[in-house]
Structure 1
Amino acid sequence: MPNGSLEKFIYEERSDSVRQLGWPILYKITLGIARGLEYLHRGCNTRILHFDIKPHNILLDEDFCPKISDFGLAKLCMKKESIVSMLGARGTIGYIAPEIICRSLGGVSHKSDVYSYGMMVLEMVGGRKNVDVGVDRTSEIYFPHWLYRRIELDEELQLIGIMNEEEKECARKMVMASLWCIQTDPSSRPSMSKVVEMLEGNLDFLQIPPKPYLYSSSRTEVISSEVELA
């Protein structure tokens, strides 16, 4: 693809006031990936579960239209089937749905791709990794929870490069849809069809999701130690 993979466009210095990709293009890419996953999950005769949705596996053509690539970890299942059997975890750390690691949280299904999609879009929104491994663990901020707090308090998202009300609305829809996608309980996550509806619909009709309660592993360790000290 002429523009390579998405990952080279979305990770930028936090001090920048201008993004490599403007919000209209980011929104277009977000919606395009959602439609692509919707097709894999519902449009094919056999449902295709990708299991490795991440910025590196999204290729961009000359018009920045996204193409989902690298189906090396994909699994096929019948449309009526919702749960697939899987030996061991598959995917990339940072995007793997929690039920793939801990089966007691629920079965592995197309909702696992929904989780990965949500984590990826949050990185697109923030222009950064969801967890900054380069900072001291005691000061580490888990970006999805930081965003959720701002949504919860109805505060400005303070995201890079928003120029007008239309871009602000696009960014907020991307954040709200993503926070629904990364719910820990797979049954609480929307289908990709519903995600497309969220992105294309009216922001006023989007409900605030429950708080995603799984922190990053290192952040959880910090919290546990703080609780023990208290």
Structure 2
Amino acid sequence: MVCGYQREETPAGGMTFACFCDGGQTTGRCGAGSKRNEGPIVGAVVAVAFLCLVILTCFLACRHGSLPFKSKNKPGTRIESFLQKNESSIHPKRYTYADVKRMTKSFAVKLGQGGFGAVYKGSLHGRQVAVKMLKDTQGDGEEFMNEVASISRTSHVNVVTLLGFCLQGSKRALIYEYMPNGSLERYAFTGDMNSENLLSWERLFDIAIGTARGLEYLHRGCNTRIVHFDIKPHNILLDQDFCPKISDFGLAKLCLNKESAISIVGARGTIGYIAPEVYSKQFGTISSKSDVYSYGMMVLEMVGARDRNTSADSDHSSQYFPQWLYEHLDDYCVGASEINGETTELVRKMIVVGLWCIQVIPTDRPTMTRVVEMLEGSTSNLELPPRVLLS
């Protein structure tokens, strides 16, 4: 509708209003009256619709933890960013998934299986390797990054060597030097005294001191201090000469050299080897001493394998094993070594060092440097830790 209007002054001083439209002349206003009220109505509808959209968006954000229109990163994006930022410090070579399949001959020989995935035997440039295939995951890859970042910074005879890695979509693999004798768990914790996997006390002692040297290196020797957080027999690998090598850095924490206390989210490690302070701050701060505790528990298991010298129906079978060792130290050492003086000394060293390492209060535990000194020194200089801390 086309309209125009005209205002005229009346003789009395008032105003008249005339609207000329193609539908005829009207007075008072131009156009149909219904058109005049549409603006506020439309505005109110738009406002209500927008408010509903905001409420729906907030609901979805609270329920799913993200905005419905927020784009999700592709798997591995965070890892790719990490690798780019640390390119200069990461030395292992990167391989494609096709390379990994060739190395393992399409994963023909499986060496082991765990919660992380599976390990396969392979060959790289004529050298035997172990390929750890991590489970396909949509996660942010924290354990993968920990592993690559930690081992890339190490070079020690008692720390496993990472030769390469693969990151292709959701496929993640870590390529290590091959350890023909598997893990310590395979040898040190058999209940069969006649088993071919049973190691001598001398060899167990060498493994204990080698592992201690590896931990000392991680805590003090490399450029960036590393706390492992998962020291246990399964993560101590043995080469062809039974030289121990610390492996599996998925839970490791990189620390500044001057940093003593460590902040972590939630407990990490394996039940039975986790230090008390990792569970609760009331025992002290988390630090490299948490690894010391795990090491001590592992050494006492290496010495004890309680099925050897204790029976299921004995009075002490249900007693806390470190406490039982403390109370029967001399008898145990003699019985375990079969009246061999040198072996008795080795067994005693391992027990006393292990008891010191598992002290409840972190500050009462020795450093790994001190642990190495105690194992290399004489038993005459070793004192038992306070008994009250074992109760």
TM-score category of the 2 structures, normalised to the smaller one: 0.7 to 0.9
Distance 1:194 1:33 in 2: 13
Change (3 A) 1:75 1:196: same
Specify the code of the residue in structure 1 equivalent to 2:249: F
Cα distance, 1:150 vs. partner? 1.9
Q: Is 1:117 the equivalent of 2:299?
A: no
Change (3 A) 1:88 1:137: farther
Cα distance, 1:140 vs. partner? 1.1
1:219 is matched with none
Alignment gaps of 5+ in structure 2: 1-178
Cα distance, 1:210 vs. partner? 1.2
Specify the code of the residue in structure 2 equivalent to 1:38: E
TM-score, normalised via structure 1 length: 0.83
2:384 is matched with 208
Change (3 A) 1:27 1:184: same
Contact 2:283 2:361 (C-alpha < 8 Å) held by counterparts: yes
Deviations 1:90-133 (A, max 9, x none): 0000000000001111000000000000000000001248xx9x
Specify the code of the residue in structure 2 equivalent to 1:75: K
Cα distance, 1:211 vs. partner? 2.2
Q: Is 1:189 the equivalent of 2:365?
A: yes
Q: Is 1:178 the equivalent of 2:354?
A: yes
Percent identity for Structure 1 against Structure 2: 59
Q: Which structure has greater strand proportion?
A: 2
Specify the code of the residue in structure 2 equivalent to 1:189: R
Contact 1:11 1:128 (C-alpha < 8 Å) held by counterparts: no
Contact 2:323 2:390 (C-alpha < 8 Å) held by counterparts: no
Specify the code of the residue in structure 1 equivalent to 2:366: P
Q: How many residues align?
A: 209
Report the secondary structure of 1:59's partner residue. strand
Distance 2:284 2:313 in 1: 32
Q: Which structure has greater helix proportion?
A: 1
Q: Is 1:44 the equivalent of 2:222?
A: yes
Contact 1:6 1:56 (C-alpha < 8 Å) held by counterparts: yes
Distance 1:99 1:159 in 2: 35
Distance 2:277 2:302 in 1: 23
The farther-off stretch of 135-144 and 81-90 is 135-144
Change (3 A) 1:156 1:44: same
Specify the code of the residue in structure 2 equivalent to 1:165: G
2:233 is matched with 55
Contact 1:73 1:90 (C-alpha < 8 Å) held by counterparts: yes
Distance 2:285 2:315 in 1: 31
Cα distance, 1:79 vs. partner? 1.6
Distance 1:86 1:135 in 2: 41
Alignment gaps of 5+ in structure 1: 216-230
Instruction: Specify which of 276, 279, 286 is matched with residue 98 of structure 1.
Output: 276
The farther-off stretch of 5-14 and 206-215 is 206-215
- What does 1:1-230 correspond to in 2, within 5 Å? 1-13=179-191, 16=193, 20-128=198-306, 140-151=318-329, 154-157=330-333, 160=336, 162=338, 164-211=340-387, 213=389
Report the secondary structure of 2:324's partner residue. helix
1:226 is matched with none
Q: Give the aligned CA root-mean-square deviation in angstroms.
A: 2.4
Specify the code of the residue in structure 2 equivalent to 1:78: L
Report the secondary structure of 1:157's partner residue. helix
Change (3 A) 1:69 1:47: same
Distance 1:71 1:29 in 2: 19
